[in-house]
């Protein structure tokens, strides 16, 4: 007998555990996957067959098909017939809810259809004693809530409606007890529904649907109250005393409010994240983190500000969070009776200050050198092939690939890694074209340029691969056909402007 079995048997002998069930042999995962796929296909044919039988009955036929599908799902779930029948029960449950919702939508308005679909989902949550069925029914219920809210022009209030039961469930997880099989899938379904609602708000914003002040205030108050309720449970789990608990809670709520004011609906993602972290639900935690990143990224991109203003916005957000962290530490020490440090050594700041000075010095030297190339260098025009991507930290820019680089790449194909010079000469159209490669720096000649290149066996490194411009002006640079450079006598080259097909400057230029 293994150690695990002996431990289990000792618990059984002590009357603390029941006899372990016989572990049945399970088929390989690929066999189970094929069984599940076959179950979904079979269920699809069953529903299609029922649709053909009730063809022409319309609403009544759909309703009957939906009821029959739900009855079949309940019967298959009770049969415990393996993976095939279990997957078939899920497929029939989904199709049944869909048919009933469609029938209600055809027979009445959207609001009534949403209420009927939500009522059916609630009934299935209590009737179908299975984790997956209850999770899916909860997701259908959250979808019905959003549809009803949109029909009532209260789409912004759907999240607060779901946030209250979500917080209530997760804050009382320790008291679920024997009803865990009911509460857990419902709590998870509400969490995913809240994240979907937070992301759905982005779509409303892109369609020009503003959020009223009243709806915004209600949403923020309710979601922050739910978050505060869950945070209290987290602080209780950490066994913090009252003198530490309440200052920590207050600072956390101020930080959450600051984040919500900066990024709309971020508090919803924070609510789900905190609850999932407390309940140790990894998948829901990752989903909340991804939703929060999407919200922050969307907010950053929709700011009608320059890159400098956006940088200041990010710096300001960081300063606020650091200030809150400092306040939290001071309150923590005060509450715990710890003495705050009374002395401060100047040597502590030598490292950061020296790093800042070195970085600024290097950046200043680079700016000084490049300004010299721009002011004193010769003009060189190269043909390009642009692409317009976006960068989170850099904004709009044009990805560049110059024709001369393709020519150099063809010349060096199959050659070992090396460095050298590319000789270019301006043609009658004023465009610099490839002449030859040189291992050493060539003698300067009229209307000729010499650029350094590096070859690693696959790529040529000789020119910049991006041109940055002000956000919102991408259409101006759609007509770019050439790049305008400045080149000095040492081969240093800087891209200064984009040119159209007639070599006229586009947008801002040096």
Q: What is the mean pLDDT of residues 462-486?
A: 78
pLDDT category, 128, cuts 50, 70, 90?
confident
> What pLDDT is recorded for position 343?
47
Q: What is the mean pLDDT of residues 63-80?
A: 82
> What pLDDT is recorded for position 340?
47
Structure tokens at 8: 């289990």
Positive/negative CA dihedral, 170, 175, 180, 183: negative
State yes or no: pLDDT of 114 exceeds 60: yes
Asked if 224 and 267 touch (Cβ cutoff 8 Å), the reply is: yes
> What pLDDT is recorded for position 52?
67
Q: Which residues pair with 453 in a beta bridge?
A: 420
pTM (predicted TM-score): 0.62
Residues 290 and 273: their CA atoms lie apart, in Å, by: 10
Residues 481 and 242: their CA atoms lie apart, in Å, by: 67
> What pLDDT is recorded for position 162?
92
Phi, psi values for residue 454, rounded to 5°: -130, 140
> What pLDDT is recorded for position 328?
64
Asked if 39 and 72 touch (Cβ cutoff 8 Å), the reply is: no
Structure tokens at 106: 């055809």
Residues 202 and 340: their CA atoms lie apart, in Å, by: 45
More confident residue, 467 or 427: 427
State yes or no: pLDDT of 225 exceeds 90: yes
Share of the chain above pLDDT 90, in %: 12
First to last CA, the chain: 82
Rg (the chain; Cα; Å): 33
Alpha-helical (H) ranges within 303-402 are 307-336, 350-376
| Cβ-proximal residues to 79 (8 Å cutoff; 6+ apart), any chain | 85
pLDDT category, 219, cuts 50, 70, 90?
confident
> pLDDT for 409-449, tens place per residue?
888 888 888 889 999 988 888 888 888 998 888 887 888 88
State yes or no: pLDDT of 376 exceeds 80: no
State yes or no: pLDDT of 253 exceeds 50: yes
> What pLDDT is recorded for position 183?
93
Residue 312: alpha-carbon gap to chain centroid: 23
Count of C-beta atoms within a 10 Å radius of residue 256? 21
State yes or no: pLDDT of 49 exceeds 50: yes
DSSP code, position 176: -
More confident residue, 384 or 124: 124
Widest CA span of the chain, in angstroms? Answer: 99
- Mean predicted lDDT score pLDDT of the chain: 79
> pLDDT for 137-183, tens place per residue?
999 999 999 888 888 888 778 889 999 999 999 988 888 888 888 99
Out of 29-43, 184-198, 207-221, 354-368, the most confident range is 184-198
Q: What is the mean pLDDT of residues 371-381?
A: 73
pLDDT category, 508, cuts 50, 70, 90?
low
Residues 434 and 382: their CA atoms lie apart, in Å, by: 10
More confident residue, 11 or 384: 11
3-state secondary structure of 80: coil
State yes or no: pLDDT of 321 exceeds 60: yes
Structure tokens at 298: 């969307």
Domain coordinates in residue numbering, the chain: 377-506
Range with lowest mean pLDDT among 45-59, 99-113, 241-255, 464-478: 45-59
> pLDDT for 261-315, tens place per residue?
888 888 999 999 999 988 889 899 999 999 988 888 888 777 666 666 667 777 7
Structure tokens at 153: 């022009």
State yes or no: pLDDT of 188 exceeds 90: yes
Range with lowest mean pLDDT among 365-369, 452-456, 506-510: 506-510
């Amino acid at each position: 007998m293994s150690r695990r079995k002996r431990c289990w048997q000792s618990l059984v002998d002590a009357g603390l555990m029941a006899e372990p069930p016989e572990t049945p042999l399970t088929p390989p995962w690929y066999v189970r996957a094929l069984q599940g796929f076959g179950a979904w296909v079979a269920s699809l044919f069953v529903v299609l067959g029922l649709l053909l039988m009730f063809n022409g009955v319309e609403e009544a036929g759909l309703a009957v098909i939906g009821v029959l599908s739900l009855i079949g799902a309940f019967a298959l779930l009770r049969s415990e017939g393996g993976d095939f029948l279990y997957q078939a029960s899920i497929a029939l449950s989904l199709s049944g809810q869909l048919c009933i919702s469609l029938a209600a939508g055809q027979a009445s308005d959207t609001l009534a259809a949403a209420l009927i679909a939500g009522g059916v989902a609630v009934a299935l949550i209590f009737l179908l004693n299975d984790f997956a069925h209850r999770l899916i029914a909860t997701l259908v219920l959250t979808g019905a809530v959003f549809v009803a809210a949109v029909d009532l022009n209260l789409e912004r209030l759907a999240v607060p409606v779901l946030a209250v039961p979500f917080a209530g469930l997760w804050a009382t997880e320790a008291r679920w007890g024997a009803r865990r099989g009911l509460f857990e899938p419902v709590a998870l379904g509400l969490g995913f529904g809240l994240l979907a609602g937070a992301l759905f708000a982005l779509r409303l914003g892109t369609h020009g649907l503003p959020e009223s002040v009243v709806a915004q205030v209600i949403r923020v108050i309710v979601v922050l109250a739910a978050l505060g309720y869950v945070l209290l449970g987290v602080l209780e789990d950490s066994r913090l005393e009252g003198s530490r608990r309440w200052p920590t809670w207050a600072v956390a709520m101020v930080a959450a409010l600051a984040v919500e004011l900066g990024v709309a609906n971020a508090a919803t993602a924070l609510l789900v994240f905190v609850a999932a972290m407390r309940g140790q639900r990894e998948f829901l935690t990752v989903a909340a983190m991804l939703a929060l990143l999407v919200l922050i990224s969307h907010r950053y991109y929709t700011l009608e500000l320059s890159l400098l203003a956006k940088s200041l916005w990010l710096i300001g957000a960081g300063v606020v969070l650091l200030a809150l962290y400092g306040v939290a530490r001071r309150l923590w020490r005060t509450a715990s009776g710890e003495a705050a440090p009374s002395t401060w050594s100047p040597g502590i700041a030598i490292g950061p200050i020296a790093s800042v000075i070195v970085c600024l010095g290097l950046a200043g030297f680079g700016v000084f050198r490049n300004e010299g190339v721009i002011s004193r260098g010769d003009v060189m025009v190269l043909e390009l092939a642009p692409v317009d991507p976006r960068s989170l930290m850099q904004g709009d820019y044009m990805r560049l690939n110059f024709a001369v680089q393709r020519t150099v790449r063809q010349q060096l194909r199959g050659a070992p890694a090396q460095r050298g010079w590319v000789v270019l000469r301006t043609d009658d159209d004023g465009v610099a074209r490839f002449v030859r490669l040189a291992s050493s720096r060539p003698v300067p000649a009229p209307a000729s340029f010499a650029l350094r290149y590096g070859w690693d066996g696959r790529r040529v490194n000789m020119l910049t691969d991006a041109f940055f411009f002000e956000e919102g002006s991408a259409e101006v640079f759609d007509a770019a056909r050439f790049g305008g450079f400045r080149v000095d006598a040492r081969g240093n080259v800087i891209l200064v402007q984009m040119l159209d097909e007639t070599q006229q400057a586009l947008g801002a230029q040096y």
